[in-house]
Amino acid sequence: MIVVLQKDVTEDAKQRLRAELYQKGCVVREMDSAGQTVIAALGRGDLDPKQVAAMEGVAEVVPMEGKFKLVGRQWHPQDSQVQVGPITIGGQRIALIAGPCAIESLAQALTTAREVKRYGAVIFRGGAFKPRTSPYSFQGLEEEGLKILAQVRRETGMPVVTEITSINQAELMKEYVDMIQVGARNMQNFELLKCVGRLGKPVLLKRGLASTIEEWLMSAEYILAEGNDQVVLCERGIRTYEPYTRNTLDLSAIPVLRKLTHLPVVVDPSHATGLREKVAPMARAAVAAGADGLMVEVHCDPDKALSDGPQSLYPEQFGQLARDIYVIAPVVGKQLDFEYLEKAARPRPSAGAQPAVAAYLGEPGSFSHIATCQYLGGDGLLASRPSFRAIFEAVANGKAQVGVIPLENTLTGSIHENYDLLLEYDLKIVGELYLRIIHHLIAAPGTRLEEIRRVWSSEAAMQQCRAFLDRYPSWELSTVNATTSAVRRLREEPGPGWAAIGSREAAQSHGMALIAEGIETNPRNFTRFVIIGKQSVTDRPKQKSSIVFSTVHRPGALFEVMKIFADNHINLLKLESRPIHGQPWQYMFYADIEADAHAPEFREPLENITRKTDYLKILGSY
């Protein structure tokens, strides 16, 4: 049962209640839910709810329904996030876990780790105790392997995950690794589950070779019942009658789990398929199906691997896969952040210091707000600003460390005001992010489509939903300055038959319902946001730069600059001109190029460009 405590319950009363439930033989777990303490009392079906309701400090007793208790959504409605060193699994960032099947040597582990890190992995995997089908196969380096993993963490900053195969390894695991994997073969080794439940380290729980989702979740329940709620589920394929792949990847487990549990879900396409060429397609599909991350076997020399070579990717293949995931993730509302590890591994602000502040336009539920949340991934504070200029001001005067501004939309084009502000302020573009813009028709819960008479939204949102709105010519359309103001109006000044167009998040934050989902005319509706700051937060080589320049007024002037790009094999991604204020018919050119403008190779082309232009500014490399 779930025991909701009174808001003003004293600490003493709470402890007495916990002790009493414990004495009655219950497993007792406590959680804070919107400022109120709730206690799960489990394991005693015969406990009388009336008796518990009468205890001191109790506000309400709610029976727990279904088999799943602590892993279930009734106990924990929100998605949970699992912290592995500096990395969070769950939420809006895709976590890439990569590394060899087994640790074979320091050189093999370090070489592979550096490669996968370079391509976007944030957690390193590698087995030290290998559960092999044959006793004559390589069994792993055991403690030596764990030491190598700890060294990889020291040298790369990546937290490490490895498999535990016996409770005897518990102390070693505690000493050397950041996350403990329970392998498919041990999913129902209940003593092992209880052991990792008590270890106080995050757990990656793989699905058993022939286990149902229910059995799998009950295994997770064992870990949570011991007091460890840091559990990530890993789908790794199940045994079916199909011999073309090593196992059959059950992708439908992802949406099934989403409904049943709050725990994050990652997918291991390597053991699921057993074949290198099948790994990337299934990994892409897993992200499209909503996985929070991937665990992929990568080896620096797979042909010589001591285990699972045929399913291990070459590092470059992993790199290509990461690039695909970078593109796919925004379609399902997530991001792959290639700088995540570096950002996460930076020292936290000391106690008492303010965490980083990110300024954005509008209010919670605005697309800028969603983009900022995705960029920060849960770290840092958000500061709303009323205009784009106010965002630039906040960053320039140090009130915010970064600002998040939209620069262009795939359907409606550039946001010119921000181009002009980039020129005016001495700030840098330090990152970018693509957000898919999905619009919904939003109204008070219970409203039916037939009842709608008037729709509020921003001009841009109306334009983007034109085809849908044209189907209802009798609706009165009223524009306001932002989609979030439209949704807020529904709650603050409701009118009969009123609806708004906006994001799912805006609807949620105002307690409104989605009446029609995905009503934008073109689903390829993405906005590119850039992150502005005083300086870049990471040192990694940058792939892209934005520059702005003007040329002298003579034939071929622009061509001469373009020729420098061509001669140096620099790919031009975008070129746009903007009028120069106060100089009629003169233009600034904004260019995005595929190059790191601060790299030594770029010095010479840059000098040449400087000679051919009368103004040049590097807006940033990222």
How far apart CA 159 and CA 479 sit, in angstroms, is 49
User: Which of ligand PEP, Mn ion, none binds 184 (CB below 5-8 Å, type-dependent)?
Assistant: ligand PEP
Tokens of 291: 């996985």
Site for Mn ion in 84-123 (CB under 5 A): 101
The answer to whether residues 179 and 199 touch, using CB atoms and an 8 Å cutoff, is: no
3-state secondary structure of 36: strand
- Assigned token pair, 525: 């509706």
Nearest approach, Cβ of residue 252 and Mn ion (Å): 23
- Dihedral of CA atoms 68, 73, 79, 85 in degrees, nearest 10, equals -30
302 sits near ligand PEP (criterion: CB under 6 A): no
From the list 28, 38, 101, 500, which residue makes contact with ligand PEP (rule: CB under 6 A)?
101
Q: DSSP letters along 496-520, please? A: TTEEEEE-HHHHHHTT-EEEE----
CB 581, CB 550: distance < 8 Å: no
- Count CB neighbours of 286 within 10 A: 27
Q: Which range, of 88-96, 183-191, 368-376, 542-550, touches ligand PEP by CB under 6 A?
A: 183-191
Measured from the CB atom, the residue of 128 and 530 that comes closer to ligand PEP is 128
Residues 619, 571: contact at Cβ < 8 Å? no
Least CB distance to Mn ion at residue 539 (A): 33
Q: Which does 236 bind (CB under 5 to 8 A by kind): ligand PEP, Mn ion, none?
A: ligand PEP
Residue 56: Cβ-neighbour burial (10 angstroms; 0-12, 13-18, 19+): middle
Task: Tell which one of 69, 271, 440, 612 touches ligand PEP (CB under 6 A).
Answer: 271
Helices marked H in 331-482: 340-345, 367-376, 388-396, 416-424, 459-464, 466-470
Closer CB to ligand PEP, 206 or 439, in the complex: 206
Place of tokens 């502000």: 421
Residue nearest to ligand PEP (CB): 183
Record the tokens describing residue 557, joined without a space: 């002037």
Q: Which is nearer to Mn ion, 305 or 336 (CB)?
A: 305
- Shortest-Cβ-distance residue relative to Mn ion: 101
Least Å from the CB of residue 183 to ligand PEP: 3
The nearer residue to Mn ion, 273 or 372, going by C-beta atoms, is 273
Q: Is 145 in the site for ligand PEP (CB under 6 A)?
A: no
**Per CB under 5 A, 505 contacts Mn ion:** no
Considering only 29, 206, 246, 299, the residue that binds ligand PEP (CB under 6 A) is 206
236 binds ligand PEP (CB under 6 A): yes
Give the nearer residue to ligand PEP in terms of CB position, either 271 or 385. 271
Q: Which does 287 bind (CB under 5 to 8 A by kind): Mn ion, ligand PEP, none?
A: none
Q: What is the dihedral of CA 533, 535, 536, 538, to 10 degrees?
A: -130
Question: In terms of CB distance, is 127 or 197 closer to ligand PEP?
Answer: 127
Question: One symbol per residue from 271 to 310: x for binding Mn ion (CB under 5 A), - otherwise; what is it?
Answer: -------------------------------------x--
Cα 222 to the center of its chain, rounded Å:
27
Task: Give the Cβ contact number of residue 33 at 10 Å.
Answer: 13
The torsion angle over the Cα atoms of residues 221, 227, 230 and 234, rounded to 10 degrees, is -20
Pairing of strands 2-5, 36-42: antiparallel
Q: Cβ 77 to Mn ion, closest distance in Å?
A: 35
For residue 289, the minimal CB distance to ligand PEP (Å) is 18
Partner touching 408 among Mn ion, ligand PEP, none, CB below 5 to 8 Å by kind? none
Residues 72, 86, 183, 365: which binds ligand PEP (CB under 6 A)? 183
Nearer to ligand PEP, 137 or 610 (CB): 137
Q: Which stretch binds ligand PEP (CB under 6 A): 104-112, 180-188, 367-375, 504-512?
A: 180-188
Q: Least distance from C-beta 609 to ligand PEP, angstroms? A: 50
Q: What is the 3-state secondary structure (H, E, C) of 523-554?
A: CCCEEEEEEEECCCCCCCCCCCEEEEEEECCC
Helix (H, G, I), strand (E, B) or coil at 316: helix
Does position 184 interact with ligand PEP (CB under 6 A)? The reply is yes
Q: How far apart are CA 318 and CA 316, in angstroms?
A: 5
Residue (234 or 530) nearer to ligand PEP, CB: 234
Q: Which residues bind ligand PEP (CB under 6 A)?
A: 101, 127, 131, 183-185, 206, 236, 271
